[in-house]
Amino acid sequence: EVQLVESGGGLVQPGGSLRLSCAASGFTFSSYWMHWVRQAPGKGLVWVSRINSDGSSTSYADSVKGRFTISRDNAKNTLYLQMNSLRAEDTAVYYCARDGGGVYDLDYWGQGTLVTVSS
Amino acid sequence: SYVLTQPPSVSVAPGQTARITCGGNNIGSKSVHWYQQKPGQAPVLVVYDDSDRPSGIPERFSGSNSGNTATLTISRVEAGDEADYYCQVWDSSSDLYVFGTGTKVTVL
């Protein structure tokens, strides 16, 4: 059974940093692209970032480019999102998701971790 | 940047058919995916590549895509189908993934 479990969320002050983790199990993690998607309270889904299977290629939404860094450790079956220079508008539930492969869908999602940016 | 537009809400009586549209420029040339999200839960993929269903998703969920509009159709709607639904595509020109604005389906 595919499982994705996010952790690392919490309360952080504006301008601060936070690192999210996503522990994967039930599939060959090193074979799949992975994503981060966020959802502000009461709002819709917003794609944040994607990393390819070996970590050599990444892509970011314009709203986080230069502030967030996606990475992975295939030996630990773990996906990361390093978030710097956080702003109030980054407050959201952050989901990690697996890329289905081939047609660019997201076929499995974690339950999410809440990040709150506030003073 | 590529924009996907959905109606904010759709209401349907039990047993009837709900149709949720997703509009985008020449979206018919892209693969469209649909997600269901119930309150307090993570999204679930219900249709991928325009019209395919993941295992475990009822045949009542179907999709189509042509021209500037993709459509998710839910036949014989049940109370348990009440949720938010999002379309999604990959924009090859920018290498960005895009979600639609979301549609709240209410079962009357």
Contacts of B32 (CB under 8 A, 6+ apart): B22, B47, B49, B50, B63, B65, B70, B87, B88, B89
Q: Which of A47, A107, A108 sits opposite B99 (nearest CB)?
A: A47
If pLDDT is split at 50, 70 and 90, which confidence band does A91 have?
very high
Closest CA to A15 of A103, A94, A117: A117
Whether A109 sits inside 8 A of B42 (CB atoms) is yes
Q: Are A38 and A6 in contact (CB under 8 A)?
A: no
Per CB-CB distance under 8 Å, the chain A contacts of B90 are 104
CA atoms of A108 and A72, how far apart (whole Å): 17
Whether B37 sits inside 8 A of A50 (CB atoms) is no
| B54 phi/psi in degrees, rounded to 5 | -65, 160
Per CB-CB distance under 8 Å, the chain A contacts of B88 are 45, 47, 105-106
| A50 phi/psi in degrees, rounded to 5 | -140, 145
Instruction: Give the gap in angstroms from C-alpha A51 to the nearest C-alpha of chain B.
Output: 11
CA angle A36, A73, A115 (to 5 degrees): 35
- Tens-digit pLDDT profile for residues B34-44: 999 999 999 99
If pLDDT is split at 50, 70 and 90, which confidence band does B3 have?
very high
Say if B61 is an interface residue toward chain A (CB within 8 Å): no
Say if A62 is an interface residue toward chain B (CB within 8 Å): yes
Q: Are A114 and A9 in contact (CB under 8 A)?
A: yes
Per CB-CB distance under 8 Å, the chain A contacts of B34 are none
- Find the closest chain A residue to B49 by CA distance: A103
Predicted pLDDT of residue A101:
86
Residues forming beta bridges with residue A98, ordered by sequence position: A34, A108
Predicted pLDDT of residue A14:
97
Q: What is the residue type of A62?
A: D
CA angle A54, B30, B60 (to 5 degrees): 100
CA atoms of B30 and B66, how far apart (whole Å): 9
Q: Are A34 and A97 in contact (CB under 8 A)?
A: yes
Residue A102 predicted with pLDDT over 90: no
Say if B57 is an interface residue toward chain A (CB within 8 Å): no
Predicted pLDDT of residue B49:
96
Whether B102 sits inside 8 A of A105 (CB atoms) is no
Say if B97 is an interface residue toward chain A (CB within 8 Å): yes
- Tens-digit pLDDT profile for residues A1-37: 999 999 999 999 999 999 999 999 999 999 999 999 9
Predicted pLDDT of residue A67:
98
CA atoms of A11 and A16, how far apart (whole Å): 10
Written as six digits, the tokens of A88 are 């109030």
Residue A80 predicted with pLDDT over 90: yes
